[in-house]
Chain A
Amino acid sequence: MTLLELSGLRAGYGGSVVLDGLDLTVGEGEVVALLGINGAGKSTTMRVITGLLDPSGGRVVFGGVDITHFPAHKRAAEGICLSPEGRQVFPHLSVEENLCLGSFHPRARRHRAESLERVYALFPILRKRREQKAGFLSGGEQQMLAMARALMGRPRLLLLDEPSFGLAPLILEVVFNTIREIARSGISILLVEQNAQAALGVAERGYVLSEGRITLSVSAAELSSSGDMRKLFLREIEETAMPARVSVESKPAAAEEGLNPEPILQIRGLRRTFGGLVAVNNLSIDVQRHQFLGVIGPNGAGKTTLLNLITGYLQPSAGEIHLNGQRIDGLKPYDMCVRGVGRTFQLVQSFPEMSVIDNVITGALFARDARISLDEARERVRRPLELVGLERKTDVLAGTLALGEQKKLELARALATQPQLLLLDEVMAGSPHEDVVELMEVLRAIHAAGTTILMIEHLVHVILGLAQHIVVLNFGEKLFEGSPTEVVADPKVIETYFGTPFTNK
């Protein structure tokens, strides 16, 4: 019997489309995995199912009831419980208080004592830590707490969003064994994972989500051998990459091209911690002049932190950064801009109440020590706007643009500062297929015109198609470095991206 049915679901944030006609079902007692690369819309699907995000179209039917527009707090009472991405435990409350809150709604509250016993049996470590504040737990313990808290709500459908996120392999195994145990108790589970191997190790069925749609649905039979799983994933990625059909041809190495052998950017022993968490550790990278450098790595690998460190939004805990031979760590973002570093942001940071052209003009006006006139700036922004293809929307308010367009606007704005070194943080995210291809051409042109580019991107085929040199990060450290051809051949990299298969099934 079908427990959850999503049909033709459409949803997004502020005008951008993330889910575009998604169909999915979860049967009673079934374990279903929802897989896909970052930005495919997995977490958005979870937000729509739990009611944190209101869909703009389609239906959510749960247990035969249409709950499409139910408020979030009513859905918990219906038996939909989510262990959210990033855990979201209540940091200043004790473990037991967190668990009690999990059974806040009356249906679950009646069975609180009994549920507590059950989750403590499932996660013995939580019983040991019951008096401790949740904020002081380790990442793995927090993950268990988030799952236990969701179980306290006596779910008919348990949603797990990235339970593997940031976990060490050993703990990962514990967490997934527990998921298997929960599944045996008859609770339906919808599991969202980036670590496809781990997810497929517990699921009976799997969906592959790409650009807001289900592109592939596979049954348990197809999942039986681990060889198939990898094929499945490569196929999925290929599909995403189809219009580009990138060939990983060898591109001329940058250093040979330029006369100046000194790297434009030198990073030495860079380290940054947040509280106890090490986001970037002992990282050394050279960016050669006129190079196109790609940085990849799974979620939480420290990629955006790296950009924040380079641009002065964060100060390193240790290590040095040199730009054109000058030490720059400790400088502010505006200093970096004046020194010729431009950047786009992962989360869109356009100025929504300003028109497109005014956004870009702001980029042109203040980027050098010598101020230019407004007329000059207007002249100067024409080229960047044309490059990214926004020249017809100059008078539109930036806030009304779609997500992909806002990303392009940010690119234009960064270009208007006339950077020597351009740092791109997921500039393709939110752009439809056709635009990705177009944007790749734009970036090639920018690079050809002499700009050094450091690019972070989740779309692997984009990086493979553009970058001359690739650095792979994992847990804040450099995992691998080499040409695109070397990167795709390296088993370590494949593992980081697609996960390790479990030995026990």
Chain B
Amino acid sequence: MPFAATAVVNDWIISAASMVILAVSWNLAANAGLISLGHSAFWGVGTYTAVLSANKLGLPLVLALIPAMLIGALLGVLLAVITGRLRGIFFAISTLALSEGLRVIAVMTPGFTGGGEGIYVNPQLRIGAHWVAAIMVVGALISILVAWAISRTSWHFAFRAMRANESAAQMLGVRPIGFRVWVLALAGAMAAFAGGVRVWYGGFVDPGIAFDLHITIFAQIGPLLGGIYTLAGPVIGALLSVLLSEAARIWFGTQGFGLLVYGVALVLCILFLPHGIWGGLQRLWTFGRRRIRGEQ
């Protein structure tokens, strides 16, 4: 078995790639001024849609991901419409409520979702971990590509303007609700994809796993560590956070430490490195360049 030796490696790749997708997705919304504390809602919806459509229709993973992403996008649209003009803290709380609400619904509709007992992916549809890893990596690359492409369109201008001052942006012809719908649909589809793929690795989902608050934390930690609102930052941060949590696991052994490390990293970053690692480097670079120019 050539892959047996690489089980740990597969595990790393899957968690790293899913962290990258979550980070890019979260950062995309944050860039437009929408701070999500409920990214687990998209992830969970993706998970359930993928499993249910696969089990009920016999779809293979790759096809099951299509409805998963559609429903994820739809949830994003719904969120955008519901929250209307809410900003900052009030948007954040609504996302938190959305995610918790979906968890309650998943628990309370056992006929459809399997309820608190959870459901298994039809074993016949499951595929090797290396395939799951490969799909997740492709997804991560595509998310990065999408984020990069967006940064080269007019959307990038609208998003940043909305983040800075949604009211003033309107005077320049920016219609915020339209952009909110698009960005949340996109972010939702990305996170739903990651959730859908991840469930093929574990093979099982219940409401607690699908709508876990930790998913939201995973989504934030990458951008904050690497550099919020930047392109490379979330990716760097996501990879680094996997490294951190693995290191914590190896050194301290217990599960609690991994999350404690995340919490500490989150707090330290906000207090002392508000632009993250990549953002900090960028600033250092422009600052240095200006100094050199100034001295000449």
A touches B (Cβ under 8 A): yes
Binding site for B on A (CB under 8 A): 311, 313, 332-334, 336-338, 342-343, 345, 349-354, 358, 361-363, 365-368, 371, 374, 377, 413-414, 417
Nearest CB on A from B161, distance (A)? 5
Chain B interface residues (CB < 8 Å from chain A): 152-154, 157-158, 160-161, 163-165, 167-175, 229
Among B153, B154, B168, the residue within 8 A (CB) of A366 is B154
Known contacts: A334-B175, A338-B173. The answer to whether A354 contacts B168 by CB under 8 A is no
**Which residue in B152, B154, B164, B171 is a CB contact (below 8 Å) of A333?**
B171
CA distance A213 to B167 in the complex (A): 35
In the docked arrangement, what's the CA distance between A351 and B33, Å? 12
Contacts A350-B164, A351-B165 supplied; 18 other A-B pairs, CB < 8 Å: A334-B175, A337-B170, A342-B171, A349-B168, A351-B164, A352-B164, A354-B157, A358-B160, A361-B157, A362-B160, A365-B154, A365-B157, A366-B172, A366-B173, A367-B173, A371-B154, A374-B154, A417-B173
Residues of B within 8 A of A371 (CB): 154
Q: Report whether A363 and B172 are in contact in the complex, using a CB–CB cutoff of 8 Å.
A: yes
Considering residues A353, A362, A365, which has the most beta carbons from chain B within 10 angstroms of its beta carbon? A362
Partner of A362, one of B152, B153, B158: B158
The interface centre, meaning the residue of B157, B158, B171, B175 with most chain A CB atoms within 10 A of its CB, is: B171
Determine if B157 and A358 form an interchain contact, defined as CB atoms under 8 angstroms apart. Answer: yes
Top 8 A-B residue pairs of the complex, sorted by shortest distance between their CB atoms: A366-B173, A351-B164, A349-B168, A333-B170, A337-B173, A362-B157, A367-B173, A365-B154
Cβ-neighbour of B158 out of A333, A353, A366, A414 (below 8 A): A366
Identify the interface centre among A334, A353, A354: most chain B CB within 10 Å of its CB.
Answer: A334
Output the nearest chain A residue to B170 by Cβ-Cβ distance: A333
Say yes or no: A334 contacts B174, CB within 8 Å.
yes
Q: Report Cα–Cα, A334/B176, bound state, in Å.
A: 9
Output the nearest chain B residue to A352 by Cβ-Cβ distance: B164
CA distance A366 to B175 in the complex (A): 9
Select which of A349, A353, A367 is within 8 A of B167 by beta carbon. Answer: A349
Q: Are A332 and B170 in contact (CB under 8 A)?
A: yes
A240 to B167, CA, bound (A): 34
Contact A343–B157 (Cβ < 8 Å) = no
Nearest CB in chain A: distance from B251 CB, A: 38
A225 CA / B80 CA spacing, docked (Å): 65
**Are B172's CB and A417's CB within 8 A?**
yes
- In the complex, which of the residues A351, A352, A363 has the most CB atoms of chain B within 10 Å of its own CB atom? A351
What's the minimum C-beta distance from A329 to chain B, rounded to whole angstroms?
16
| Contact between chains at B171 and A343 (CB < 8 Å) | yes
CB distance from A349 to the nearest CB of B (A): 4
B227 CB to nearest chain A CB (Å):
13
Measured between beta carbons, the chain B residues less than 8 angstroms from A368 are: 173
Residues of A within 8 A of B158 (CB): 362, 365-366
Name the distance in Å between A427's Cβ and chain B's nearest Cβ.
14
Contact call B172/A354, Cβ cutoff below 8 A: no
B163 → chain A, closest Cβ, in Å?
8
Asked if A362 and B170 sit within 8 Å, CB to CB, the answer is no
Contact call B165/A362, Cβ cutoff below 8 A: no
A352, B168: Cα distance in complex, Å: 12
**Cβ contacts A to B, 5 pairs, < 8 Å:** A332-B175, A334-B174, A353-B229, A365-B157, A366-B158
A397 nearest CB neighbor, chain B only: B286
Residues of B within 8 A of A363 (CB): 172
- Which chain A positions have C-beta within 8 A of B167? 313, 333, 349
Shortest Cβ distance from residue B286 to the other chain A in the assembled complex, whole angstroms: 9
